[in-house]
Amino acid sequence: MISFEQLKSFAFEFQNSIFRILLEKKFCVKNTEPMLFLGNNYSGYWFPKDLIDSRGTIWGVGLGHDSSFELELMTLGYDFFGFEPEASCFKSSKKQFSGTDAVIENYGLWDKSGKFNYTGANISIVNIFNLNQKSEDFLDIRSLWDEAKFKNIEAQTRPRILKLNIEGAEREILLKFIEAPLGFEVIIFQAEFLFHIGFKRIGKKISACRDLFRILRGFQSNSWRIAHLSRHQITIIRNVSS
């Protein structure tokens, strides 16, 4: 017999699949560009195959307790800058990259700087799951734009990859990026501000979908293309001619 939790999970995934179909139709995403899966089931991402051997730079914003994706890129010759504000996740990251040249910072990146508390085990500063109780602890969050200037992103080895896994806070970064672009050639993000919202909050999901449409239209108008769309991951690439 199917449990209530299984029914909820089915409804959640079915609703998200509808939003993905809308995205594919709206932006004519064919997923024809060759991609390779790097990492594991916890922290794996599809990566453009033609960039595998390019030995560029990866910025991992939001690391959690495992960053096998970034570690695998490092073994392929990529430089790695990681950003993780939560103490236990930061400790895990430092341990995972011990003995490497990775730069791991104990702060997060967003469109603004400050001290923010968070909700839930997913550590969301935008409360993506609409929880009532906030943490007593505060996370150190800094502006991506300030950090790009401080670390001189323009001088870093190309291609420069920006990976965002920040529990819904990627929406604000992506919206600002359209108006104030930075020197990245590839952005990989999980559209958690849409796909992690519960299926009962349909109004919020429709609003988030509109925001994602706006984001993708904005990038397309600035010479980016949608290279890949999977269950939660979207990969966009800046065209070489731009």
φ, ψ of residue 28 to 5 degrees: the values are 50, 45
As a whole number of Å, the CA-based R_g of the chain is 18
Which DSSP category does 46 fall into?
Answer: E
Q: List pLDDT tens digits, range 2-22.
A: 787 778 788 888 888 988 888
Given a cut of 60, is residue 67 above it in pLDDT? yes
Average pLDDT value for residue range 71-99: 96
Tell me the CATH class for 4-35+45-113+143-238.
alpha beta
Give the model's pLDDT for residue 110: 97
Q: Which two tokens stand for residue 65?
A: 């307790």
With beta carbons less than 8 A apart as the criterion, state whether 128 and 193 touch.
yes
| Residue burial 14-52, b: 16+ Cβ < 10 Å; e: rest | ebbeebbeebeeebebeeeeebeebbeeebebbbbeebb
Q: How far is CA 171 from CA 38, 60, 155, in A?
A: 24, 16, 26
pLDDT band, residue 230 (cuts 50/70/90): confident
Percent of the chain with pLDDT over 90: 68
Average pLDDT value for residue range 227-234: 87
Give the model's pLDDT for residue 241: 56
Q: List pLDDT tens digits, range 21-37.
A: 888 888 888 888 899 99
Average pLDDT value for residue range 47-75: 96
Q: How far apart are CA 15 and CA 17, in angstroms?
A: 5
pLDDT band, residue 82 (cuts 50/70/90): very high
Given a cut of 90, is residue 154 above it in pLDDT? yes
Break the chain into its structural domains and give their ranges.
4-35+45-113+143-238
Given a cut of 50, is residue 242 above it in pLDDT? no
Given a cut of 80, is residue 65 above it in pLDDT? yes
Q: How far apart are CA 54 and CA 161, in angstroms?
A: 11
- Which is it for strands 160-164 and 114-116: parallel, antiparallel or unpaired? unpaired
